[in-house]
Amino acid sequence: METEDDALVMYLVVRRRTTRPFAELATAAALATRRCAYRFRDDDRWRDGFEDWWHHSFRKVCLRAEPREWDDLRDLDHERVGDVACLPPLRRSARDRVLVRMQTLSDEAGQLPELDRDDLGDLTLVVATDLKMSSGKTLAQIGHAALMADLDTGFDRGLDLRVVGQGTDGWAALAEFADAVVRDGGLTEIAPGSETVLVLRSPAESVK
């Protein structure tokens, strides 16, 4: 039975002192999460944990890695895009020592580009910027959204995936046309049920 102290968690890891802009890290987090799920969800070593996590936890935690820790990640199963890595779900008690040593990513989130409704990508994730989530919280929520779109048809590495920001004004109208909406469980930073990310698919005409 899953307990709060030993929940199944999918860990996102960001390389500390990265020079990449936050918008690039946001896109990398979405892609790394999708590729991790696609690669490991049917792997015999991870299948049962993935199934349990998908239906009962869906929890993500975003950590920051010092240079030595970032290098040590290469010994663990993961998918890496740029300066962001994603590991398949595992229980807190089963974390490798390198993950235990890492700190939670709690810096202020950087700026995201504004949504252009006339120029959507194949998959566009719209972040609620007025919630003022930390960078780690924001990346975790983006990871949630990335898995709410079809993995089988969207895994192609040529996928035009974009992460943009949207304030309160216009959010409700936009949410009506979203393919999916991420609502937070309220465990950290924001109130339960807060809408954090919208999942939009082409064509652009669907949100005009």
Distance CA 87, CA 89 (A): 6
Confidence bin at 147 (pLDDT 50/70/90): very high
Determine the pLDDT at residue 78. 97
Three-state secondary structure call for residue 104? strand
Q: What mean pLDDT comes out for the span 57-83? A: 96
Q: What mean pLDDT comes out for the span 48-59? A: 93
Q: Does residue 89 have a cis peptide bond before it, meaning omega lies within 30 degrees of 0?
A: no
Determine the pLDDT at residue 208. 41
Domains in the chain, ordered, with CATH? Answer: 4-104 (3.40.1490.10), 123-207 (3.40.1490.10)
